[in-house]
Amino acid sequence: MKIRILTLFPEMFDKTLGSSILQRAIDNGYLDIQSLNIRDFSDSKHKKVDDYPYGGGPGMVMTPQPVFDCHKQALENLDSIEAPRTIYMSPKGKVFNQKLAQELSKEKALIFICGHYEGIDQRIIDTLVTDEISIGDYVLTGGEIPAMAVVDAVARLIPGVLSQEESYKDESFYNGLLEYPQYTRPQDFRGMTVPDVLTSGNHKDIDEWRFRQSVELTRNRRPDLLKDFVVPKDKEKLFKKITIEEKDRK
């Protein structure tokens, strides 16, 4: 997947994209990420990228010209890819989730626009942007951290990026549930022991225990997720049993 990030702070991406799984994905050719500095595209003498909002009010707004020209360069960069989605990171956007990450991971290319100050001129959004995405109901200083979160969540779903051991299929949200608790060595840490079932070697029991933990955790913490949860065929009986037991306990 090719990713182009339009930002006033390209250096913010160096560390994140140059570490761990993302760096490996780049090295192995699964990801091609470039950040473009919007300021480099400003026509103004002092490379100005913002101005006062029409109608008054606090703060500054990012002007259209540098962003339009930076976006044009990003498109030229991706010339073999037709109409890539252009995502504006914005607190006003659709709230990002695993489903959207899965959808975006199927794209050949993505362009991200990171806002700053009070945001970007609406004409950029009306003309260039296909998706406005928020990472939650709070306001950050800029779109860089939100873009990194989206790039990270999307990249790890691209086939081949994660090795088998790191498979995401059991992880929270992927199958509609929160993940079960995880334990590692030692089996006894200062008197706190690992649940016996996990050291039993009985894979059926382990599988059932994990499913039960996932269902109970989701029911307690995120009951909203259960509305869309499709119970796997082989877990239907167990799911019913867990549900009855939970009702009896109340």
Ligand X SMILES: C[S@@+](CC[C@H](N)C(=O)[O-])C[C@H]1O[C@@H](n2cnc3c(N)ncnc32)[C@H](O)[C@@H]1O
Residues within the annotated binding site? 115, 135-140
Pick from 35, 63, 86, 90: which binds ligand X (CB under 6 A)? 90
Question: Minimum distance from CB of 122 to ligand X (Å)?
Answer: 12
CB closer to ligand X, 66 vs 176: 66
Spell out where the chain has E strands. Answer: 2-7, 32-37, 50-51, 61-62, 85-95, 109-114, 131-134, 188-189, 192-193
Of the candidate spans 64-72, 87-95, 103-111, 163-171, the one that interacts with ligand X by CB under 6 A turns out to be 87-95
CB closer to ligand X, 96 vs 209: 96
How far is the CA of 240 from the CAs of 77, 231, 244, in angstroms? 53, 10, 6
Q: Could you give the CA distance from residue 133 to residue 142 in angstroms, rounded to a whole number?
A: 13
Residue closest to ligand X when measured from CB atoms: 115
DSSP β-bridge partners for residue 133: 94
What lies within 8 Å, CB to CB, of 67 at 6+ separation is 6, 38, 41, 113, 120, 121, 124, 128
Of the candidate spans 75-83, 84-92, 214-222, 239-247, the one that interacts with ligand X by CB under 6 A turns out to be 84-92
Q: How many residues bind ligand X, per CB under 6 A?
A: 19
Binding-site residue set for S-adenosyl-L-methionine: 115, 135-140
Of the candidate spans 3-11, 85-93, 205-213, 217-225, the one that interacts with ligand X by CB under 6 A turns out to be 85-93
Question: Minimum distance from CB of 235 to ligand X (Å)?
Answer: 35
Question: Minimum distance from CB of 133 to ligand X (Å)?
Answer: 7
How far is the CA of 77 from the CAs of 5, 49, 73, in angstroms? 12, 22, 6
- Identity of the residue numbered 70: C
Pick from 92, 94, 99, 241: which binds ligand X (CB under 6 A)? 92
Q: Could you tell me if 111 and 84 are in contact, meaning their C-beta atoms sit under 8 angstroms apart?
A: yes
Q: Which positions from 210 through 239 interact with ligand X, judged by CB under 6 A? A: none
CB closer to ligand X, 40 vs 118: 118
CB closer to ligand X, 29 vs 56: 56
Closest C-alpha to 67, from 34, 115, 118, 110: 115
Of the candidate spans 44-52, 108-116, 122-130, 241-249, the one that interacts with ligand X by CB under 6 A turns out to be 108-116
Q: Could you tell me if 7 and 1 are in contact, meaning their C-beta atoms sit under 8 angstroms apart?
A: no
Q: Could you tell me if 87 and 111 are in contact, meaning their C-beta atoms sit under 8 angstroms apart?
A: yes
String marking each residue 120-149 x if it binds ligand X according to CB under 6 A? --------------xxx-xxxxxx--x---
Residues at the site binding ligand X, with contacts judged by CB under 6 A = 89-92, 114-116, 118-119, 134-136, 138-143, 146
